[in-house]
């Protein structure tokens, strides 16, 4: 009795630069940053904003929000590039992609759906970047008195 042979799935092998140490260092840095912000970072920022004059505090907030907007835009461009490569090749992950673990290649409609999901995520990241860049102006309008108004006594 001859059974039909099942084709071996195409697999993209993981290529970890530096034997995975780069990934481990990135994760460790991210965890350290989260711990520092949770423990000391946010109270430090609150203290800095209260101790500075209004103009300096607004400048610090502007710098923080613009930096976050740039980060969101960079992440959005990376995700949109991956979506475009997936859509164009018709496979997930796209050819010559860098993967963390050995990954079975998906073709056809399933790959195009993943490309659409990545494109949606990229659009949300770009929208977040625009929102973060507009937020300092909204803060300035909320805390700055109108031009003809007198300061409270």
Identify which has the larger pLDDT, 5 or 66.
66
Q: Is 17 helix (H, G, I), strand (E, B) or coil?
A: helix
Identify which has the larger pLDDT, 60 or 120.
120
DSSP string for residues in 98-123: --SS-EE-EETHHHHHHHHHHHHHHH
Q: What integer is the mean pLDDT of 122-142?
A: 92
d(CA 42, CA 31): 16
d(CA 81, CA 91): 14
7-19 pLDDT, tens digit per residue, is 777 887 776 655 5
Share of the chain above pLDDT 90, in %: 33
Share of the chain above pLDDT 70, in %: 81
């Amino acid at each position: 009795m001859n059974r039909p042979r099942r084709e071996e799935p195409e697999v993209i092998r993981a290529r970890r630069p530096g034997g995975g140490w780069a990934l481990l260092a990135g994760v460790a840095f991210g965890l350290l940053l989260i711990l520092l912000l949770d423990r000391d970072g946010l109270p430090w920022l609150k203290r800095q904003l209260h101790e500075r004059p209004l103009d300096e505090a607004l400048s610090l907030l502007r710098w923080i929000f613009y930096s976050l907007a740039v980060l969101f835009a960079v992440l959005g461009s990376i995700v949109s590039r991956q979506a475009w490569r997936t859509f164009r090749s018709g496979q997930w992950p796209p050819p010559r992609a860098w993967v963390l673990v050995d990954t079975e290649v998906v073709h056809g409609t399933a790959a195009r759906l993943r490309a659409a999901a990545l494109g949606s995520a990229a659009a949300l990241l770009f929208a977040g970047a625009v929102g973060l860049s507009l937020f300092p102006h909204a803060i300035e309008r909320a805390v700055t008195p109108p031009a003809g108004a007198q300061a409270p006594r």
